[in-house]
Chains A and B, each alone.
Chain A
Amino acid sequence: MMGNWIIAPVLLPVVAGAFLVMTAGETAQRRLSVVAVIAGLVLALALAASATVSGPQVYLLGDWPAPFGIVLVLDRLSALMLVLTAGLSVFVMAYVLGSGWDRKGRHFHALFQFQLMGLNGAFLTGDIFNLFVFFEVLLIASYGLMVHGGGKERLQAGVQYVGFNLIGSTLFLFALGLIYATTGTLNMADLAVKVPLMPANDTALLRVAGVMLLIVFAVKGALVPVQLWLPGTYANAPGPVAALFAVMTKVGAYAVIRVFTPIFPPGSPATGSLYADLLLPAALVTLTIGAFGVLGAASLFRMAAFAGIASMGLVFTAVASFTGEGLVAALYYLVHSTVAGALMFLVADLVLRRRGTGELRARPAIPQAGFLASLFFLSAIASAGLPPLSGFIGKLLVLQATSGSVWTWAVILGGSFVMIVGFARAGSVLFWAAERDKAPPAPAPDRAALAATLVLAAVSMALTVFAGPLTGWLEPAAALLIDPAPTIALHDLPGPMGED
């Protein structure tokens, strides 16, 4: 049991971030930042070990009893997301230090820590309103990170990004108001108890609230038709920030899994299969748009952004089944696509640093072209889902979970093909169609950044090798979502429908 340590992944970045704001020297900032991300990874691993050994745990903030106070829930799902975020933050920080991105503006390290605080909080909380608050924390930090380094295009894309997400936040609040008005609670475990008990003719408002929540999470997860903000944002964000944002879209998928599986499952008498019926077509269209975006993108970063949209389509396709098998596949693919998406943005940034432009047109040859081409090849294989990297196993799991649906299979396999063609086109333009007569510029001094990218590619391979143990570890996590009784029992809730 971890007791009070459950809140530590939220507190550590806050404290580190606050000190980073006050630290003046660049070396001191970098040191503090590195210590904070490594400590965060150790903490996340310790919590994951605890969730594996002792099962789900609940932390009552201020010791207020469950439906009235805010609770944090540590189970395998939240532990997985914590480890994923902390692991990614270590790689991104290594890349940032190696490439000197943090020198291009002020307060990069502090914003980075506040971003981690918002992500960790969103993954740990067991209260929907608290989820909203942590969404805002991670968003407000991401606004700062997104425009880091400044520039006209970046600021204009930033305004779009902020506007889109503020509309999403407003919708989130409307949904929360409706949920509180109909059920009288915002605690996720309490909702999982109360929603199925609602009389059938009282559920119209609740269904509306559920659809609004789905739209909000779809905005975060870049699901069609609210994916429009993503390409502009990711294409204009600094490379390592876009790599960190690979986990931000996953927050949307995580929230759908966390909220909809226990509270609004397809078998629920209150809401029926409404959400699964909405989610599946949207996910398949997302996958298609992402795949064709990869094929048609005019620049490297936009291509990587569309690959991210396609991966979210696949994750949501698996989630829409709301079965144990589907959720395991979705979670495995979620981990894989975070690694693969981040890898692709880091490789894109490495290429951009040498090439000066991400435009997919023939340009003078770049230094270290062979090495970078291999890295790009690896990241393309991972994103497109070809063997031997983890995307292949992830896609296989999703196909297995959705077997029996011809349309789903056709879209997934067809989408993979279109993506392979798109990556092949981009790779040939970037590395083969170079103008050889001009001498390449001197290589940029970024050995640490190269190393960070290389190790991240190795992580994708490790995910392939350890796919068996990982999916085995994920099965109890999915089972706990489908039958949340053990988690609900930990909350010690008063009787259903209480004194209302």
Chain B
Amino acid sequence: MEFLFASATGLLTAAGVWLILQRRSFPVIVGLSFLSYAVNFFLFASGRLAIGALPIVGASEAPTDPLPQALVLTAIVISFGMTAVVVLMALGAFFSGGHDRIDLDRPGRGEDRP
């Protein structure tokens, strides 16, 4: 089980890192989602992997650590909200700019506007 878990986490992270290095915002957003799945797995494993153990004392023979589960829940909620925000902003940039390249047009020219 450890091997499966570790390789799944590693694969998700690798896919995420590959995708966030792309130049268009769609793959970057998908990559960020992959990374957040990977980190959720990873956080879950920080409380040690156990089968059939409940996070409630007395409910099963050896209770498992409840804190990582709370952390994962928080992380899921936050990454869900953040993905929604970044999708909206990327759509806004796409519709106003006409392309979804992640780099700025003419960087360094400094067209400040009020």
Q: Any chain B CB within 8 A of the CB of A160?
A: yes
Q: Any chain B CB within 8 A of the CB of A208?
A: no
Known: A151-B96, A155-B92. A232 touches B86 (CB 8 A): no
Of B39, B47, B81, B107, the residue contacting A174 (CB under 8 A) is: B39
Of A156, A167, A301, A353, the residue contacting B35 (CB under 8 A) is: A167
Of A129, A151, A159, A302, the residue contacting B113 (CB under 8 A) is: A151
Interface SS of B by simple majority: helix
Q: B112 touching A300 by the CB < 8 A rule?
A: yes
Q: Which residues of B contact A167 (CB under 8 A)?
A: 20, 32, 35
In the complex the two chains form, what is the Cα distance from A151 to B36 in whole Å?
A: 29
Min CB–CB distance B19 → chain A (angstroms) = 11
Min CB–CB distance B89 → chain A (angstroms) = 5
Interface residues as binary, B86-105 with A (CB distance below 8 Å gives 1, 0 otherwise): 10011011001100001111
Q: Any chain B CB within 8 A of the CB of A299?
A: yes
Q: Which of B30-74 contact A (CB under 8 A)?
A: 32, 35-36, 38-39, 42-43, 45-48, 67-68, 71, 74
Q: Any chain B CB within 8 A of the CB of A38?
A: no
In the complex the two chains form, what is the Cα distance from A352 to B47 in whole Å?
A: 53
Write the chain A residue with the least CB distance to B43: A177
Q: Any chain B CB within 8 A of the CB of A493?
A: no
Q: Any chain B CB within 8 A of the CB of A153?
A: yes
Q: B39 touching A173 by the CB < 8 A rule?
A: yes
Q: Any chain B CB within 8 A of the CB of A136?
A: yes
Known: A158-B89, A173-B42. A359 touches B112 (CB 8 A): yes
Interface residues as binary, A332-360 with B (CB distance below 8 Å gives 1, 0 otherwise): 00000000000000001100110011111
In the complex the two chains form, what is the Cα distance from A177 to B114 in whole Å?
A: 43
Q: Which residues of A contact B35 (CB under 8 A)?
A: 167, 170
Q: A235 touching B110 by the CB < 8 A rule?
A: yes
Q: Any chain B CB within 8 A of the CB of A143?
A: yes
Q: Any chain B CB within 8 A of the CB of A150?
A: yes
Q: A180 touching B71 by the CB < 8 A rule?
A: yes
Q: Which residues of A contact B111 (CB under 8 A)?
A: 153, 299, 357-359
Q: Which residues of B contact A373 (CB under 8 A)?
A: none
In the complex the two chains form, what is the Cα distance from A356 to B112 in whole Å?
A: 8
Write the chain B residue with the least CB distance to A99: B114
Q: Any chain A CB within 8 A of the CB of B8?
A: no
Q: Any chain A CB within 8 A of the CB of B14?
A: no
In the complex the two chains form, what is the Cα distance from A136 to B82 in whole Å?
A: 9
Q: Any chain A CB within 8 A of the CB of B15?
A: no
Q: A136 touching B39 by the CB < 8 A rule?
A: no
Known: A136-B82, A298-B109, A301-B110. A155 touches B89 (CB 8 A): yes
Q: Any chain B CB within 8 A of the CB of A256?
A: no
Q: Which residues of B contact A458 (CB under 8 A)?
A: none
Q: A155 touching B112 by the CB < 8 A rule?
A: no
Q: A153 touching B39 by the CB < 8 A rule?
A: no
Write the chain B residue with the least CB distance to A157: B104
Min CB–CB distance B23 → chain A (angstroms) = 12
Q: A152 touching B93 by the CB < 8 A rule?
A: yes
Which of A166, A235, A298, A352 has the most chain B CB within a 10 Å cutoff? A166
Min CB–CB distance A260 → chain B (angstroms) = 21
Q: A173 touching B43 by the CB < 8 A rule?
A: yes
In the complex the two chains form, what is the Cα distance from A174 to B28 in whole Å?
A: 19
Q: Any chain A CB within 8 A of the CB of B6?
A: no
In the complex the two chains form, what is the Cα distance from A301 to B112 in whole Å?
A: 7
Q: Any chain B CB within 8 A of the CB of A379?
A: no
Min CB–CB distance A485 → chain B (angstroms) = 26
Q: A143 touching B112 by the CB < 8 A rule?
A: no
In the complex the two chains form, what is the Cα distance from A328 to B73 in whole Å?
A: 39
In the complex the two chains form, what is the Cα distance from A298 to B109 in whole Å?
A: 6
Q: B89 touching A140 by the CB < 8 A rule?
A: no
Min CB–CB distance A264 → chain B (angstroms) = 19
In the complex the two chains form, what is the Cα distance from A181 to B32 in whole Å?
A: 23
Of A150, A166, A299, A300, the residue contacting B32 (CB under 8 A) is: A166
In the complex the two chains form, what is the Cα distance from A140 to B89 in whole Å?
A: 12
- Taking Cβ atoms with an 8 Å cutoff, the residues of A that contact B are 129, 133, 136, 140, 143, 147, 150-153, 155-160, 162-163, 166-167, 169-170, 173-174, 176-178, 180-181, 186, 232, 235-236, 239, 297-302, 348-349, 352-353, 356-360
Q: Give 6 CB contacts A-B under 8 Å.
A: A143-B85, A147-B92, A158-B93, A166-B86, A299-B111, A352-B113
Known: A156-B97, A169-B78, A176-B71; 4 extra A-B contacts, CB below 8 A, are A150-B96, A159-B93, A302-B108, A359-B110
- Taking Cβ atoms with an 8 Å cutoff, the residues of B that contact A are 16, 20, 25, 28-29, 32, 35-36, 38-39, 42-43, 45-48, 67-68, 71, 74-75, 78-79, 81-82, 85-86, 89-90, 92-93, 96-97, 102-105, 107-114
